[in-house]
Chains A and B, each alone.
Chain A
Amino acid sequence: MDSPWDDDPQATYAREADWAKISNEFTNSGYREGIVAGKESALQEGFDSGFADVGVPLGRELGLLRGTVSAILSLLSSQPPADIPFTAIDEARDIATSLGNIRFTDIAPRDVEAEQHAREHMDSDDPALDGSEELVEKRKMEGLEDMLEKLTAGAGGISAQGRPTKEDVVRLKERLGALSRDLGLFIQTVG
């Protein structure tokens, strides 16, 4: 009964447990190293696309508007007050102030893929992911970041409801166009 050979089933169980442990260990370490390598392989590609497709066109458009209104303001304030309609200066100042308030996060399009992926993290039951405490921790951070991002995108800063939007930029552009026409300026548009 107490023979040492009797614990055979126990030993088999232990071996299986070891086996699962080994399999997990190697799969997980492969996963961890793969994630780093995969990320590094794609960073530059992502950077280049974000730069050319979103950052440059949005920045240039806003910059053009700001430069235009800056030139108009400097023109108006260099002229004797009697020569210019009072409303023109007010309008130019107002447009300049509004343009100055706009941040990148106000007008940037959503990164749908990023949002989608963050959601997948939230409700994924990928065992390889759940196994790692580190990943769980980081997923929590991502959730926090999403919340923060929503806060900064929606409200952010001084006024709680008044963050400008893409539509505001379009309106400001129209107002600036009207103002230039009133002043008799034909500003070459760029493509």
Chain B
Amino acid sequence: MADDFDLEALVHLEQTFYDSGHADGFAHGRIHGLIEGRALGREKGFEMWEELGFYEGFALTWQAIYTQQGRDDQRAMHHIKHLLELISQFPRINPSAAQAESSSNEELDISKLLRQIRSRYKALCASLGVRPTLRAAQVAEAGDEEGSGPGPSASRQVWKLEEDAKRPTMQGLSF
């Protein structure tokens, strides 16, 4: 009996050591998770919206040019209107957080929206007789597939953090 008791106490004590270590580690790990997550999120948000902002600024400026010149080009104005409309639909917070907050916001297909934006921008450039920026040309194949059905990446809806975190190139903010 006495032996049993001792053994249990020992097991319990080991658990106590483990638990207190775990609690300290968890708190420390959270700090690192927040820091590393922030670094990744900043980069990703910047990258996405630098491109979208470019299309937005481009469209708004051509809108102003057409207004000033009193030009009446239905086609270009149509593209501008739709481009700005598409951009306004693009999320400015990570959709994973948005979807958690409101479940009504369902099935937001980011990559499809991005493809639509890029091809609308290129269509606008074509109607203006302006050469599109290089980065839109680089994703030309993806954009041109749009009419022929959903591309292979259509199922990707939100930015899964894991994908980015696992990238070997990220200089690890480790503990």
Q: Give the B-binding residues of A (Cβ under 8 A).
A: 22-23, 25-52, 54-68, 70-72, 74-75, 78, 104, 108, 111, 113-114, 117, 128, 135, 138, 141-142, 145, 148, 180, 183-188, 190
CB-CB < 8 A to A28: which residues of B? 21
Apart from A30-B22, A68-B60, A111-B39: 14 A-B pairs, beta carbons within 8 A:
A26-B18, A26-B21, A30-B17, A33-B25, A34-B28, A35-B32, A38-B33, A43-B161, A46-B37, A48-B96, A56-B48, A58-B46, A59-B52, A70-B57
| A30 and B21 within 8 A (CB) | yes
Chain B minimum-CB-distance residue to A44: B161
Q: Is the interface of B mostly helix, strand, loop or mixed?
A: helix
Q: How far in angstroms is the closest Cβ of chain B from A121?
A: 9
| A128 and B54 within 8 A (CB) | no
Contact with B24, one of A31, A65, A188 (Cβ below 8 angstroms): A31
Chain A minimum-CB-distance residue to B29: A38
Q: How far in angstroms is the closest Cβ of chain A from B93?
A: 4
| A27 and B17 within 8 A (CB) | yes
Contact with A41, one of B15, B33, B47, B128 (Cβ below 8 angstroms): B33
A-B contact pairs, 17 of them (CB 8 A): A37-B22, A39-B30, A40-B33, A43-B37, A44-B96, A46-B34, A47-B44, A47-B161, A48-B93, A52-B92, A55-B42, A56-B92, A59-B53, A60-B53, A63-B55, A104-B42, A114-B39
Complex: A190 Cα to B19 Cα, angstroms? 52
Contact with A27, one of B21, B32, B41, B131 (Cβ below 8 angstroms): B21
Q: How far in angstroms is the closest Cβ of chain A from B80?
A: 10
| B42 and A27 within 8 A (CB) | no
| A51 and B93 within 8 A (CB) | yes
CB-CB < 8 A to A22: which residues of B? 14, 17
Within 8 A of A (CB), among B1-44: 14-15, 17-44
Chain B minimum-CB-distance residue to A132: B175
Contact with A185, one of B23, B50, B61 (Cβ below 8 angstroms): B61
Q: Which of B64-72, B107-115, B146-154 is near enough to bind chain A?
A: B64-72
| B38 and A47 within 8 A (CB) | yes
Complex: A83 Cα to B3 Cα, angstroms? 101
Complex: A117 Cα to B40 Cα, angstroms? 17
Contact with A50, one of B40, B48, B130 (Cβ below 8 angstroms): B40
- Asked whether A63 and B56 contact (CB < 8 A) given A48-B97, A49-B38, the answer is yes
Complex: A50 Cα to B30 Cα, angstroms? 15
Complex: A41 Cα to B96 Cα, angstroms? 15
| A65 and B35 within 8 A (CB) | no
Chain A minimum-CB-distance residue to B24: A31
